[in-house]
Amino acid sequence: MRSSDLPEVRDLQLFRSMSEERFAELMQAAYLQTFPAQLDLITEGDSADFLYVVVEGCVELYACWNERQATMGMVHPIGTFILAAVIKDAPFLMSARTLDKSKILLIPAEDVRHVFEADSDFARAIISELADCYRGMVKEHKDLKLRSAVERLANRLLGFEKEQGGTGELVLPYDKRKLASMLGMTPENLSRALNTLRPYGVDVDNNVVRLNDMAAVKTLAKPTALIDDKDT
Amino acid sequence: MRSSDLPEVRDLQLFRSMSEERFAELMQAAYLQTFPAQLDLITEGDSADFLYVVVEGCVELYACWNERQATMGMVHPIGTFILAAVIKDAPFLMSARTLDKSKILLIPAEDVRHVFEADSDFARAIISELADCYRGMVKEHKDLKLRSAVERLANRLLGFEKEQGGTGELVLPYDKRKLASMLGMTPENLSRALNTLRPYGVDVDNNVVRLNDMAAVKTLAKPTALIDDKDT
DNA sequence: CGTACCATTGATCACTATCAAGCTACGTGG
DNA sequence: CCACGTAGCTTGATAGTGATCAATGGTACG
């Protein structure tokens, strides 16, 4: 791998402030690989051999316990996952699988740890990334702990609508089945929750949702920056 | 504040690897203050002026939304909180209040950010701390998303029993009311959940719990390092 | 054209929250 | 020392929320 192959990766917040040499050192041992959809990349409990960077496609993070399974998050280009496990050299707490055919960069964990010991700019970038991950997880936790299923759904719809341009219309970015798991409910329940929202001007046509009465949805959803904003 | 005043703080993982000068620099502007019980220290949404270190006592982290409230975690000596907000210079996602009378060290956020820019050892220590916080939150989230209330309770009891010496007996470290909120349920429900566990050899006497049949509880609780272990 | 998978709906059940009442322990003030 | 109020815990009754099971219809893909 040469660094020139991946300007988008070089441009990641995480790598932007590194020196060219360090970046080259990291990339030298890295693999860029294309995986088919629905392929298991890592399994929780395994040890962290690589840092993963999603370059194309989409990766689902999920967790299992006692035959149950829950989606913990989605990773889109350009994003990394399992940074914390790599840093701590600790077992993964989550599993990951491709959702679509995906191009993924694998950076040996050893090298990441080595470079972060040597390059304090990289160390600072990691801090920023980890702090973001932490705050994201806190928000997810608040969402689940403080809201009902319908409230979570309404807020998520508002979020999708905003990030898709604020046209009052949105496309569900995943299967309803996946979406349900993300929201911490069953597919049947998601179906009913969408019906519950119809009186609030929410019209569903397959994976297209129209929000005809944003005010009503917001009154129900009560979105707040401290849970629903990606940044802040 | 002089650094010699607080050997325990100096011994924190977070500060251990700093040079004496850097540590002195941090401590110079810091306040060590004693607060009464039930005092609000920070409110979610506020901006991060200080990094907090609990030296004595106990602090509850909690979050609110739409008149609802949930305990997000507890901080015991010697532990820090809201590190991520300080680093990112972002608003708090959680509120904090003292549970008991508590001695707390307040380090100006400005200084923390300054020192972490200058001292790469400190930066690395922050990485380790943040990674721990992140992984802790992932575990909390898995716990809530994958388990029922009784399962969460059973696992928590096993955790308390282990950290209190593994004698088969444990003292509930908080009010049942708080414990319920930590576990994501109502006090009434906690009461009933404890009754549900009686057939599994769980005897409750006020805040003392005896586990007379560890095997039975474990069969129900199915504890796993990937959710229930503090380390790993 | 059939198979497989997803989404929806209905019926039912399990779990959790809410509301109300009563109990106990504790601290205060008479 | 006792009466009282307060707060925390428990229990019962009930309602609400979400999960499970089963059946159906639609759609994509081979």
Tell me A215's DSSP state.
Answer: H
pLDDT category of residue B157 using cuts at 50, 70 and 90: very high
Q: State pTM to two decimals.
A: 0.94
Contact list in B for residue A185 (CB cut-off 8 A) is: none
How many whole angstroms separate alpha carbon A116 and alpha carbon A93?
A: 22
Shortest CA gap A163–chain B (Å): 21
DSSP A78: S
**A93 to B226: CB separation less than 8 angstroms, yes or no:** yes
- What digits encode the pLDDT tens for the residues A109-145? 999 999 988 888 899 999 999 999 999 999 999 999 9
Confidence category of residue B5, pLDDT binned at 50, 70, 90: low
| C1' of nucleotide C17: residue with nearest CA | B186
Tens digits of residue pLDDT in A35-64: 999 999 999 999 999 999 999 999 999 999
**Residue A186 Cβ under 7 A from any strand C atom:** no
Give, in Å, how far the C1' of D20 lies from the CA of A152. Answer: 22
Contact B145 A93 (CB under 8 A): no
Nearest nucleotide, CA A176 to C1': C7
Whether A148-228 and A3-144 are alike in CATH topology: the answer is no
Q: Which of B44, B135, B147 sits opposite A93 (nearest CB)?
A: B135
Burial A73-112 (b: 16+ CB within 10 A, else e): bbbebbbbbbbbbbbbebbbbbbbbbbeebbbbbbbbebb
B62, B130, B183: best mutation site toward chain A, by most A Cβ within 10 Å? B130
Residue B34 β-bridge partners: B103
pLDDT digits (tens, 9 = 90+) for A8-22: 789 888 889 888 888
Closest CA to A13 of A149, A94, A102, A126: A126
- The closest CB to that of A70, out of B124, B133, B145, belongs to B145
Contacts of residue B21, defined as CB under 8 A and 6 or more positions apart, other chains included, come to none
In CATH, the architecture of B148-228 is Orthogonal Bundle (1.10)
Q: How far is the CA of A206 from the C1' of D26 (A)?
A: 11
Q: How many CB atoms lie within 10 A of CB A152?
A: 20
CA angle A144, B140, B152 (to 5 degrees): 90
At the top level of CATH, the class of A3-144 is: mainly beta
The alpha-carbon gap from A117 to the nearest alpha carbon of chain B, in Å, equals: 8
**Is the CB of B28 less than 7 A from some atom of nucleic acid strand D?**
no
pLDDT at B103: 93
pLDDT in tens, A153-187: 999 999 999 999 999 999 999 999 999 999 999 99
Q: Report, in ranges, which bases of strand D sit under 7 Å from a protein C-beta.
A: 8-13, 17-22
Distance A148 CA to D18 C1' (A): 10
Digit-coded pLDDT (tens) for B6-44:
777 898 888 898 888 888 888 988 989 999 999 999 999
What chain A residue is nearest to B221 in terms of C-alpha separation? A66
* CB A149 within 7 Å, strand D: yes
Q: How distant is the alpha carbon of residue A160 from its chain centre?
A: 14
Of A156, A152, A159, A150, nearest in space to A194 by CA: A150
pLDDT at A5: 63
For the cut 60, the answer to whether the pLDDT of residue A4 exceeds it is: no
Domain ranges of chain A: 3-144, 148-228
Cβ pair B94:A138 closer than 8 A: yes
A118 contact residues in B (CB cutoff 8 A): none
Sheet holding A68-75, edge to edge: A40-42, A95-98, A59-65, A68-75
pLDDT tier for residue A1 given thresholds of 50, 70 and 90: low
| Residue B150 approaches strand C within 7 Å at CB | yes
**pLDDT of amino acid A39:** 94
- Indicate the pLDDT class of residue B232, thresholds 50, 70 and 90: confident
